[in-house]
Amino acid sequence: MAQSDTVTRILDTAEVLFAEKGFAETSLRSITTRAKVNLAAVNYHFGSKKALIQAVFARYLDPFAERLHTALDELESRYAGTAIPLDALLEQLAHSVLEVPAERHSLQVFMKLLGLAYSQAQGHLRRYIQAQYGETFQRFVACLRIATPELPDAERFWRLHFMLGTVIFTLSGLDALRDIADHEYQQHMSVRELIRHLRPVVVAGMRAPLPEDDGSALS
């Protein structure tokens, strides 16, 4: 069923304000004022601010999870019981991200939101994502484990999050980075070209030698 104009307007406004100001700093009143709806409309359609935050993420994560699930089906069929190569796995992940049909805003906005989900205390959001999309993400991690058997599980965990951090930082600051590349290096780069340059960096990071244990630890 198509969303009502009111629901779409609330979601469009909320995702922009959340990306600009953060979750805690964005009040429902600021959302309703910019969206030109009353507070009762937010309460009626979403019930709470937490539910609204989850709905904003669902607009991106629903199609992303569906596309990634289908992509993993295709990869498993193509490699017929053998390990999916790391390059192919990360390539497909990148394609699934780029193909997400953001409704009115951009991949850059979503990456800012994803960065905020990591940096701000949003336990309800992590629980929601785990409940709604955990099966697909766990399936990807299982394929990643097979593709990187040399990595201990804890090391793989850190490298996966280093990779996500790199992608989130790069794509959330896309306008500024492309402006620098344009003015200083005369390099005009599309998002797809950027991903092509980013892919070997994250692949190399996942394949890097294990760090040596020097017997010291930072607390």
Which pLDDT score, from 0 to 100, does residue 79 have? Answer: 93
Radius of gyration of the chain (CA): 19
Tokens standing for residue 152: 């201990």
Which pLDDT score, from 0 to 100, does residue 99 have? Answer: 78
Which pLDDT score, from 0 to 100, does residue 73 have? Answer: 94
CA angle 66, 71, 77 (to 5 degrees): 130
Torsion angle defined by CA atoms of residues 90, 96, 99 and 105, in that order, rounded to the nearest 10 degrees: -100
Cα–Cα distance, 123 to 118 (Å, whole number)? 10
CB 52 within 8 A of CB 6: no
Which pLDDT score, from 0 to 100, does residue 58 have? Answer: 92
Residue 99, phi then psi, degrees to nearest 5: -85, -5
Which pLDDT score, from 0 to 100, does residue 106 have? Answer: 75
Cα–Cα distance, 76 to 149 (Å, whole number)? 17
Which pLDDT score, from 0 to 100, does residue 216 have? Answer: 56
Single-letter amino acid code for the residue at 168: I
Domains of the chain: 57-207 (1.10.357.10)
Which pLDDT score, from 0 to 100, does residue 76 have? Answer: 93
Which pLDDT score, from 0 to 100, does residue 1 have? Answer: 38
Question: Three-state DSSP class for 83?
Answer: coil
Which pLDDT score, from 0 to 100, does residue 144 have? Answer: 95
CB 17 within 8 A of CB 30: yes
Residue 36, phi then psi, degrees to nearest 5: 60, 50
Which pLDDT score, from 0 to 100, does residue 194 have? Answer: 85
CB 34 within 8 A of CB 13: yes
Show the low-confidence residues of the chain (pLDDT under 50): 1-2, 103-104
Cα–Cα distance, 131 to 138 (Å, whole number)? 11
